[in-house]
Structure formats: structure tokens, C-alpha cells
Amino acid sequence: MTYRTEHDSMGDVNVSADKLWGAQTQRSLENFKIGVGTEIMPIEIIRAFGILKRSAAVVNSVMCPQKMTSQKLEYIKQACDELISGELDEHFPLVVFQTGSGTQSNMNANEVIANRANQLAGEKLLHPNDDVNMSQSSNDTFPTAMHIAARLSIEERLLPALKALISTLIRLEKENECVIKCGRTHLQDATPISFSQEISGWRASLEKDMQMIELSLPAISELALGGTAVGTGLNAPNGFDTAVAQEISCLTGYTFTSATNKFHALTSKDELVFAHGAMKALACDLMKIANDIRWLASGPRLGLGEISIPENEPGSSIMPGKVNPTQCEAVTMVAVQVMANDLAVGFSASQGNFELNVFMPVCIYNFLQSVRLLSDAIASFDKNCVSGITANKKKMSDNLNNSLMLVTALNPYIGYENSAKVAKLAYEQGITLKQACTSLGFLSEEEFDKVFKPWQMI
């Protein structure tokens, strides 16, 4: 392996000749061998840095043209475009568990962009600190990258997957409007419900979750950039913050604004806690929905068996013919992970000291993992399970007609206590509610048939 010599304020460092990073990235690689190759900085953060650095260079070229010349700008833009497109992914090896400010990942971006731009220019034109990091600090760029990555991942991955699943449930609602089944509370038989009403509960839960996630987006869209080291904006020109936010908005197609209080923006991660809380609510509802579906599909002969779900793969290495609700299991495992991640996000956000939070990498690592897992799990759940749900109408009808809780329809005519006697007698003797009611003399057969109409109970 051949090396080249890179230099920073601490001296010279040898770097593999085929890598674009510089001295500070190399020092981080050597000093933080924690989760190497697995727990690396999320690629969403790297792409966000490309957006941020490109936008900052554009604004610097307007506000500081004597420093950010048109020539420098052009090469920075080219390098950033390659970074954003994923062409430079191999040059971002740093782990999550590094400095808590994310300084080394900021410098990783600065060094890769500078070195790639210098390759394109064919000369040593750009310096990672003086040019690529112009008007910036790691303390304001990393939280800015966090917010850009969070917003884009939610908008482009999570919300589309969630909307598709909601559309599937709307279709299932329409298809099952006239299907009446037994409701259940406390895992016990309850009064009737239509299957479409049951599905509507799932759908409304997801719609509420989506609304709460969308409610979090404006706050996530406020950027710390312009606060520089401690929030005062030292070394950034006046108006730099708002101009870069506008440039990022143009580049991404989503509205970003400059945080009004940079001291808050550097040290507090409350916006991410709020957004992840909404995702945790989504995880909770997905857990409930997936559990409902696998209960309803349980069997096939000795369970509830009220719905059928797609049979995607064999379920056992020893029991031939067994098929399991594996998509439901995957969703519920993801839900558990997201709930656990919420603790990490919350604890990380609580660790702001004075003018900076130094748990930012682990905060955004867990946040973005939740977005990815939820997005992928929802899409898989929709495609491989929910879209193929069919009602087993005969089983639903049989279960409904065997339910003792249909006796609730008799309450207005014979009273609660007499209705309870009917239900108990029917259960003890294994007879129908009609047989129990008439044998106790509460109603004649004709009177019973007149008032006992389960389809009117929904």
C-alpha cells in the first residue's frame, strides 16, 4: 500500500494514497476504533454535509468573493455534487462514537471535498478549513447536517411508505364494509363490529401518527448554521445564516430556515426528541396493528382464523406445511428497536452543557436508524402482508353467532341482570342464547327474533 503525507495543525500524518480524506480524518480513524466498519456515521449525514458545504460555498462567493473566488466555488460545487450523488461514499469511514460534537466528521467532509476539488482543479487550490469550512464551525455544521438529514429522510422515505400503507387500509375498508364480526376487548368476546370498522381504527391511528410527524417538520427545518463556535456567529458574515438556509431550500426542494436563537440551536436537541417521539408513537401503533393481524390470522385451525394473510415462506424447519406471520414479527421487532432508540435520543438530548451538546453523533445515529427501519418495515409489511389480507367470512360469522356477548342486545328488553343469567346459562349448558332466554321465560321465540339482530349492533 502506498501513502501520501497530509498535514494539519498537529503535524504530518500518513494517509492511504487512494483515499481522499486528510490528516484529521486519519487521526480519528486511529484514535476511535469503536464499531469500525459497522457503527459508522450514517450516510444521510454525509449527503447532508454535501448539501450544506455546497450551499455555504455559494453564499460565501457572494459575501466574501475575495476569498471564495468563482474558480474555488466551481470546484467545490463539483466535488459536493459527487458527494451528494454517492460517488464518494468510500471516503467517509468514521465511526459514530467519536468526538460528541461531530467535529471529525465535519473535517472528514471538508478534507474530502477539498482534496477532490484539488484533483479536479489539477492544483492545490483549496484548503479544508480556510475554504470548504469558511464561515462555519463544526459546532454549527453538525447540528445543521443532523436537521437536513432528518428532514430529508422523513420526507423521502418514511412519509411515502406510511401513505402507501394507509392507502392499502382504505382499500381494505371499502372491501369489507358489510362483513360483521365479533369485537374483542381484554382478549375476550365483545359486541359486534364490522371488519371495516376494525380496519378504520388501524388506518386512523396511522393517519394521526403521520400528522404528528408532519407537525415536527417545521422545527426540524430550523438550522443552526451561522452560530459558528458558541452561537455568536463569530467569523460568519452578516446574513450568512439566512442566505445559506435559502440556498439549501433551493437545492433540496424543502423549506429550511435559520434558527432564530443560535445558542439554543447549538446546545438543544429538543426538535429531534419531539420528532422521534412522534415516530415512537407510530412504532407503538404498528406494534398494535401487527399484533391484531397475527391474532386474527392465528391458526389456521385452532386459532381465531378470521383473516388470511399471504403465505410467503415456510415457517418451520421441522414442521412441514407450517406458515408463520413473519411480516408481523418483523414489524414488531422494528417497533421494539424504535422504542429503544427513543431512549437514546432522549438521553443524548439531555446532555447539553453550556453552549454545546456533545452527544450529537449518537443522537442522530439512533434517529436515522429509526427512520430507515420504520420506512423499510412499513413498505415490507404493506407489500407482503397487509395488501393481501382477506376476510374469512364464514369463520367470522361462526364466531359471531357463537359469541355470548350478543346478549347485550337484550339489555333494553330484559335488563342487565337477566341478560347476564341468559349468557351464563348458555355458556354452562352449551346452548344458544335464544334457547337460554326462552327457557328462562324472559322472551318468547318470536319476541327474541324480533329484538335480536346482531347486524344492527354495529
Positions marked catalytic: 186, 316
In contact, 245 and 256? CB cutoff 8 Å: yes
Q: Which of 88, 107, 139, 86 is nearest to 28 (CA)?
A: 107
CA 211/CA 208 separation, integer angstroms: 5
The grid cell for 402 is 357463537
In contact, 215 and 247? CB cutoff 8 Å: no
User: What single DSSP character describes residue 41?
Assistant: P
The β-bridge relationship of strands 257-258 and 222-223 is parallel
CA 319/CA 333 separation, integer angstroms: 24
Residue 302 burial by CB count (10 A; 0-12/13-18/19+): exposed, middle or buried? Answer: exposed
State residue 156 phi and psi, 5-degree precision.
-100, -15
Residue 320 burial by CB count (10 A; 0-12/13-18/19+): exposed, middle or buried? Answer: exposed
Neighbouring-strand partners of residue 40: 95
Ranges of H-type helices in 64-137: 70-85, 103-121
Q: How many helices (H) and strands (E) does the chain have?
A: 17, 10
In contact, 295 and 304? CB cutoff 8 Å: yes
Q: Is the peptide bond before 300 cis (omega within 30 degrees of 0)?
A: yes
Residue 176 burial by CB count (10 A; 0-12/13-18/19+): exposed, middle or buried? Answer: buried
Region for residue 33 given its phi and psi (left: phi exceeds 0; alpha: psi -120 to 50; beta: otherwise): beta
Residue type, 430: G
Write the DSSP assignment of 165-183 as a string of letters: HHHHHHHHHHHTTT-EEEE
CA 334/CA 371 separation, integer angstroms: 10
Ranges of H-type helices in 302-410: 326-349, 360-384, 393-402
CA 166/CA 205 separation, integer angstroms: 10
